[in-house]
Copies of this chain bind each other. A is one copy, B any other.
C-alpha cells in the first residue's frame, strides 16, 4: 500500500489462504488482483513479498520454487531471521541468492487488510539481514523499496537481530499475554477487568496481537527468548526481594533507574509530543 500510494508498483497480486481476506484487500485497493494460482502469479514478478506467520516460510517458499524465475527477488517481513533463513535455504536451494531476508520494525496490534496503512513504515527502521549468497543488486533492490516507503534501512547479522528482538519485542508480547491470563484466572475476574484502566490498556495492547503469529515467533526464537525470560525473572526477583524486605530505598532506586532509562529512550529514539510521551 505504501508503494502503491507512491505509484511505484504496476500491479500487486495478492495470494492468501483465506478467500475473504483477499476480497477485502481487493475492495480496499491494497491489491490489484486476487489470485489462487501460484504459477500465474509468479510469471514476470519483480518481487515476491512473503508476509505470513514465520513457521509457514518453508512450505510457502517450497511452493513457489518451481515457478521462481531468475529475474524475481523474494523477501519477507518475518520477526525472526535465523529460522526464516534456515527454512529459505532448505526450500529455495540453488535459488537462495534470490532471497533477501528483511524485518520492518513497525506493526499494529490490529491485523488484516483493513489494518493496512500506507504510512506505517514512515520514519521506522527496516532491518535487512543479507545472505552471503545475495548479490549487492538484490540487497539494494529490497533496501531501496523500503526506503521508498520512508523507512530507514539497517543491516544486522541474523543472530544479533534475533537476540535484540527476543528482548525488546518478543519478551514483552509474552509478558502481556501472561498479564491478561493472570487477571482472567482470578475467581472474580469480572470485578478485576471492570477496574482495569489506561495503564492496563497500554501494557496489554500487544496481547491483542495474533496468537498464531506469536506462537510461531516464540517457537522460532525460543533459545534467545528463554534466555530473556530467565533474565527477566531475575529482574522480578530483585523487586520481590526489596518488597519482602520492605526496602523502600531499593524499590525507589529500581523504579528510578527504569524511569530515567525510559525517558532517555524517548528522547533519543522516539518522536516526542508535548506531553513528553512518544507519539
Contacts and interface: CB of A to CB of B under 8 A. Distances in A.
A205 interface: yes
Contacts of A110: 275-277
A165 B199 CA distance: 11
A4 to B, nearest CB: 21
Contact of A232 (B179, B207, B229): B179
A193 B269 contact: yes
A219 interface: yes
A2 to B, nearest CB: 17
A183 B167 CA distance: 7
A145 interface: no
The range of chain A's interface size is 35 or more
A275 B108 CA distance: 10
Contact of A167 (B182, B197, B218): B182
Residues of A contacting B: mostly: helix
A219 B204 contact: no
Tell me the number of copies of this protein: 2
Interface string A213-247: 01100110010011011011101101110011010
A263 B193 CA distance: 11
A119 interface: no
A110 B210 CA distance: 31
A1 to B, nearest CB: 16
A138 interface: no
Given A191-B164, A205-B203, A219 B180 contact: no
A67 interface: no
A209 interface: yes
A6 interface: no
